[in-house]
Amino acid sequence: MAEKPELDVLLGTERTFPPPSAFARDAVLGDPAVYEQAAADPEAWWAAWADRLEWIEPWETVLDWSDPPHAKWFDGGKLNVSANCLDRHVAAGKGGRVAFYWEAEDADEQGEDGRKEVTYEWLLDQTQRFANVLKGLGVGKGDVVGIFMPMIPETAAAMLACTRIGAVHNVVFGGFSASSLKERMEVSEAKALVTADATLRRGAPMPMKEKVDPVLAGLPDLKHVIVVNRCDTGCEMKPGRDLDWHEALAAANPVCEPEPMDSEDPLYILYTSGSTAKPKGIVHTTGGYLTQVAATHRMVFDLKDDDVYWCAADVGWVTGHSYIVYGPLANGATSVMYEGAPDYPGRDRWWEIVERYRVSILYTAPTVIRSFMKWGEELLAGHDLSSLRLLGSVGEPINPRAWLWYHEHVGGGRCPVVDTWWQTETGAIMISPLPGITTTKPGSATVPLPGIEAGIFDRKGKLIAEGGGTLVLTRPWPAMARTLYGEPERFVETYWQRYGADTYLVGDAARIDEDGYFWIVGRIDDVINVSGHRLSTMEVESALVSHPSVAEAAVIGVPDEATGQAIIAFVTPQDGVEAGGEFTAELREHVAEKIGKLARPKTVCYADDLPKTRSGKIMRRLLRNIADGKELGDVSTLRDPSVVEALTAQVENATEG
């Protein structure tokens, strides 16, 4: 059997990788002294990066941390994000520069439309037009706009149009279910929604508008739906509510002046999973966020003018926000945006894309790398990948075996690998190598970036210099989340209470080694990371128990070779329900409907009762041990010890099958 990813990390590897000397010589940051300089005066460090943006009015203070955990960065300053991402490049004569090489999933069949060179000029035009459309619908500063979109250039334009007029976008990943979308629109009181008729997935249109239509009626605040026609599916349009994107933009005024925004005005909300069933609406603000995403995009990816950069995440996650849209566009970068699946029409689609556009920087997730490993390196052999010079990883711990494979087979042994640790809450990369400076160790995200300070508390609540424990961030950073939308107390309680109001509790366990390198082990809360997607056990449990035939459910994450973690559900069906194959399929479908396909349990085990203490508390630790096949120890405190046997037998069957 293959090693479990966790074990693989523990085994580690003795090999280290110093930056290749030519890379170090030409790097954006090549002098290790930057770490000391930034540590000596972090505010000056971040202010220097902020200075590279265009401010309408200068800030008065770099950081106000007088009332932790409420930070203000660049307070008093005014700027507009879309102007920084678009206008200033166009004004500098770079309007014709490619912002995105957009590649449709069915590029070959689509002919001319299948591959688009999206220039900064075009994006600015679309952004201004759509900003005017929104204004015309009565959407203004501070209003929330939902975005439920495929990976198409219009998605970036929609986000930028919101920033142009100071509206706050709330992007929901296109793979989420209609009811997840509804919940996120409802709690954020979104006034308008941007979506598409459909998106392509493995060659077939997957309806989006039709999927959300049934829930729209239940959203009284949501008065307008703008629909991009991507697949010509001829979806139904409700007169008075639904607008066709292309028609509306064609008729719109092409000029929309950027709204001067306060540095601390909200930029966007992005929902992510926490310990409870209710997702958290992470709120990011304007000046600090843009400063750090632009800075980290330049320094971590060593961005140069002639680079072709490809972040293969979906724009619906924070990685897409920070490293497809805002960081790269603020830096005037040229990126690739690919619409579809990595294995369509063939499993070498990605390598064809790298070769076609001469991609030089590739940023993806360990789960994808592990899929490629499984498919075999022969798929890479037929493609010229010599343009690549830097590789990045994000979303979950990368096991050394996957790291080494990525380095050797994708990077030809010559490209530094940057394993970037961060979160939706941090907004931008926090712990990562600087590719021209840091010697990497496969499996470690290495050290905090200059200006960032992290630490580890042991079990006794002591900050330690070496060893394992709970990861914290001990200094405010510009892109930090400012609050949870509508839940300011939850923000403080979740992140800023355990070790004091100025210490951010990450929610990850980590180890720090003798060289001060950080090794992220995994989550300490009830969050499961499936293929780099964050889900809470409670969210999945409440989806399961909402099925009328489920009496009770408990969910845990277990190590999985392909997806990092996989979901196992333990279910007690209602009396008279026949557990097993068909019912399992029904439950998986039910979870897909409630949350999205990504949340479907891999395995469902049944028992007449779940292992509980006599006081009725479900013993998750025991469930975890059952799933791991570990010694269970004393189960006599259980209300009904026999359920353990029943579950153990099922788990064994499931792993063999």
Residue ranges binding ligand WTA (CB under 6 A): 272, 317-319, 394-397, 419-424, 445, 507-508, 520, 523, 529, 534
Nearest approach, Cβ of residue 253 and ligand WTA (Å): 37
Nearer to ligand WTA, 521 or 618 (CB): 521
Distances (CA, A) of 393 to 89, 117, 234, 412: 28, 26, 39, 16
Nearest approach, Cβ of residue 454 and ligand WTA (Å): 12
Nearest approach, Cβ of residue 507 and ligand WTA (Å): 6
Asked if residues 326 and 81 have their Cβ atoms less than 8 Å apart, the reply is yes
Nearer to ligand WTA, 319 or 625 (CB): 319
Nearest Cα neighbor of 190 from 156, 228, 148 is: 148
Nearest approach, Cβ of residue 521 and ligand WTA (Å): 8
Nearest approach, Cβ of residue 392 and ligand WTA (Å): 9
The DSSP secondary structure of 98-158, one letter per residue, reads: EEEEEE-TTHHHHGGGGEEEEEHHHHHHHHHHHHHHHHHTT--TT-EEEEE--SSHHHHHH
**Phi and psi dihedrals of 620, rounded to 5?**
-65, -35
Nearer to ligand WTA, 191 or 523 (CB): 523
Nearest approach, Cβ of residue 341 and ligand WTA (Å): 20
Residue with tokens 């940023």: 363
Residue with tokens 């008093």: 76
Nearest approach, Cβ of residue 272 and ligand WTA (Å): 5
Distances (CA, A) of 158 to 63, 129, 225, 264: 30, 10, 12, 21
Asked if residues 186 and 219 have their Cβ atoms less than 8 Å apart, the reply is yes
Distances (CA, A) of 629 to 367, 584, 622, 641, 647: 24, 22, 10, 16, 11
With residues binned 3-state (H G I as helix, E B as strand, rest as coil), the percentages for the chain, rounded to 5, are 35, 25, 40
Nearer to ligand WTA, 233 or 371 (CB): 371
**How far is CA 494 from its chain centroid?**
19
Q: Cβ neighbours of residue 484 under 8 Å, at least 6 residues apart?
A: 280, 281, 282, 283, 490, 491, 494
* Cβ count near 5 (within 10 Å): 26
* Cβ count near 76 (within 10 Å): 15
Nearest approach, Cβ of residue 399 and ligand WTA (Å): 10
Asked if residues 64 and 70 have their Cβ atoms less than 8 Å apart, the reply is no
Nearer to ligand WTA, 388 or 445 (CB): 445
Nearer to ligand WTA, 119 or 424 (CB): 424
Nearer to ligand WTA, 59 or 403 (CB): 403
Mapped to the 3 state alphabet, what secondary structure does 225-257 carry?
EEEECCCCCCCCCCCCCEEEHHHHHHHCCCCCC
Nearer to ligand WTA, 311 or 394 (CB): 394
Distances (CA, A) of 46 to 290, 295, 420, 452: 11, 9, 19, 10
Cis peptide before 150 (omega within 30 of 0): no
Nearest approach, Cβ of residue 81 and ligand WTA (Å): 20
Nearest approach, Cβ of residue 534 and ligand WTA (Å): 5
Nearer to ligand WTA, 62 or 300 (CB): 300
Nearest approach, Cβ of residue 90 and ligand WTA (Å): 30
Nearer to ligand WTA, 395 or 442 (CB): 395
Asked if residues 145 and 190 have their Cβ atoms less than 8 Å apart, the reply is yes
Nearer to ligand WTA, 367 or 420 (CB): 420
Look up residue 446 and give its DSSP letter: B
